Amino acid sequence: MKKKKGTSLFRLLALDWLVVALACSMAVFSKFQLGASLPLEPLLPLAIFTIAIPVTVIWLKMLRWEGDVGFIGAVFLLCGLGLVTQIRLSGFESVPVSLKALLPLTVGFFAFLAGVSITGGRRGKWMNSAGWLAYFGALGVIAVMLVFGRHYRGGIYLPGRINPSELIKPLLVLFMAAFLANRAKAFSETQVGIPTPPLSALVHLVFLWAIPMVGTLLLKDLGLMVILNAILIVMLFAVSRRSGYLGLGCIAVTAAGYGVQLISSNARDRFAVWLHPFADATGKGWQVLQSLSAMYSGGMWGAGIGGGDPRFVPIASSDFVYAALAEEIGFIGCLLVLCLYAVLFVRGFRAAGMIKAPFERLLCIGLTGTLAVQTVFNIAGVTKALPMTGITLPLISHGGSSLIVTLLVCGLIAGLSDSRR
């Protein structure tokens, strides 16, 4: 990494730290006003965040990384905002959320550095030969969850509330990048604007994709199914540059969503809550109505960090963290957060556009698309623009395995943005 770029990265991350530290101070001070003593345990995650900045800069300098500085800046700032939100919410749990976030946050930063190390400087080209390994790895994760998983809040978790399903997304993205990169010509064929890939290639894709989709259906993880199919559409469009895949994909996803609700009571309940939340205002519609109420009370400028009351928002620390955030930073603050996400996605897709190798380009598009689709569906569900899917908000929802895998994905994208190729 050039000295100039390393210096700019450190300055950008130092600016991120100032913003996060100021927000953390406001959150801690709000707790101090409510209690008899100054709580110090919420500052431990901030200490981890502080240490991570120089460690990241030094590690990238050792790797001679020359990637997108702005992308890493956006990652750290969003992660820091999530840290602040979790500190703010920690007063409403028997075990403080800030303490529970220590291990995932620490492991997540190491996962980020590992991701950059794997793909930086074209070191990720070997992953093209690991496509099938990733595919069977994803099927293995699904099988383990089906055998040993237990239902909790509409999802399936392993003992200790570990949710390894987060690994399925990057594993299948890796597989599809390898699969499609070797069949780009076949999936680029069209007639009258309609994609017409050879029957053998189409049957091969449908068969391989149907197996993990059946697994996610058995897991009753509708959010995971939606994300994976949306990413598949994005990657088909990326490899073929044919807009027909977008149109047909949207029709197929809509039809699949309608079909799933016919066979899944969980999906029917979510559609019912989306369409008629007041029909069961104190029951199944309670989550959505409380999140809408929190966002409405935040108004244009919000109640200020520490000024809201997020304990009335169900699952505020994960699925509905955006509603808790909106109550305290308001519409303007949320708009800035959305702009920050836009920076993250634009820079990720821009990095993909600069990659010449088909596999690495598709991998970068798929990983960036994963973050973008997950963000859109979470915020759309919380704001009632779409049915709730149970998807966490990337980087801000500090959900243990979700945070670790998300930071790993961000590290892989940062490595792929390395201009030394």
Residue 110 in any domain: the answer is yes
Tokens of 158: 């392993």
Q: What pLDDT sits at residue 415? A: 94
Contacts of 330 (CB under 8 A, 6+ apart): 298, 299, 300, 301, 302, 303
User: Judging by beta carbons within 10 Å of its beta carbon (0-12, 13-18, 19+), is residue 216 exposed, middle or buried?
Assistant: buried
217 assigned to some structural domain: yes
- In terms of pLDDT, which residue wins out, 42 or 48? 48
Residue 395 has pLDDT above 60, yes or no: yes
pLDDT-based confidence at 91, cuts 50/70/90?
A: low
421 in any annotated domain: no
Binned at pLDDT 50, 70 and 90, residue 94 comes out as: very low
Most confident of 4-8, 144-148, 166-170: 166-170
pLDDT per residue as tens digits for the range 59-89: 999 998 988 999 999 999 999 998 888 777 7
> What is the pTM for the complete model shown?
0.91
Q: 369 vs 42, which has greater pLDDT?
A: 369
pLDDT in tens, 44-65: 888 899 999 999 999 999 998 9
| For residue 35, pLDDT beyond 60 | no
Predicted confidence (pLDDT) at residue 173 exceeds the cutoff of 70: yes
Mean pLDDT of 191-207: 82
Average pLDDT for residues 121-135, to the nearest whole number? 87
Pairing of strands 190-191, 150-152: unpaired
Residue 97 counted as domain residue? yes
| Position 19 in a domain | yes
The pLDDT, as a whole number, for residue 128 is 87
Mean pLDDT of 220-247: 85
Query: For residue 179, is it within any domain?
Result: yes
- b vs e for 62-83, b when ≥16 Cβ sit within 10 Å of the residue's Cβ? ebebbbbbbbbbbbbbbbbbbb
pLDDT (mean) for 194-200: 81
pLDDT at residue 193 in the model: 67
Give the side-chain half-sphere CA count within 13 A for 248: 13
Which range scores top for mean pLDDT: 100-109, 148-157, 259-268, 410-419? 410-419
**Position 39 pLDDT exceeds 70:** no
Return the minimum-mean-pLDDT range out of 27-41, 112-126, 150-164: 27-41
Residue 93 structural domain = 3-416
Q: What rounded mean pLDDT belongs to the chain?
A: 83
Q: Which of 142-151, 233-242, 346-355 has the highest mean pLDDT?
A: 346-355
For residue 275, how many other CB atoms are within 10 A of its CB?
Answer: 10
Percent of the chain residues past pLDDT 70, beyond the cut: 86
Local confidence band at 92 (pLDDT 50, 70, 90 cut-offs): very low
Query: Would residue 362 count as lying in a domain?
Result: yes
Q: How far is CA 184 from CA 28, 125, 149, 354, in A?
A: 53, 17, 37, 18
More confident residue, 355 or 269: 355
Mean pLDDT of 157-164: 70
- Return the pLDDT at 201: 86
Per-residue pLDDT tens digits for 363-390: 999 999 999 999 999 999 888 888 887 7
3-state secondary structure of 161: coil
* 386 DSSP 8-state letter: S
Residue 96 pLDDT exceeds 60: no
**Counted domains in the chain:** 1
Q: Give the per-residue pLDDT at 71.
A: 95
Give the residue with greater pLDDT, 98 vs 44: 44
Band (pLDDT 50/70/90 cuts) for residue 95 is very low
